Amino acid sequence: METKNHIKLLFFATIRDRAGTRSLEMDIPDDMTILQLKQKLGADYPNLKESMKSVLITINREYAFDEAIVPSNAEIALFPPVSGG
């Protein structure tokens, strides 16, 4: 039996606007990576699909890369890329 991992997602700035919410909780498979999570969010929330290509993600306030496995009960924050200039 596949166990589920309960996570909390926090959306910021333009991603919050596109998501239409500040936060969201969901159950994901235990071994899901950040890349798979982004693909899931893009599929479940079409407004976010474009954002997922360049989103910055933190896991429990630490920057995370696509290959990172999402830990149990993680708090995942999604930020739009910071524009330089």
Distance CA 55, CA 38 (A): 9
Q: If you search the block for the tokens 């830990």, which residue do you land on? A: 71
pLDDT value at residue 2 = 63
pLDDT in tens, 18-55: 999 999 999 999 999 999 999 999 999 999 999 999 99
In a domain, 71, yes or no: no
In a domain, 47, yes or no: yes
In a domain, 52, yes or no: yes
Distance CA 25, CA 36 (A): 16
In a domain, 44, yes or no: yes
Total of domains in the chain: 1
In a domain, 7, yes or no: no
**Which residue segment(s) compose the domain that 81 sits in?**
13-61+76-85
Q: What percent of the chain has pLDDT over 70?
A: 94
State the pTM of this model: 0.91
In a domain, 66, yes or no: no
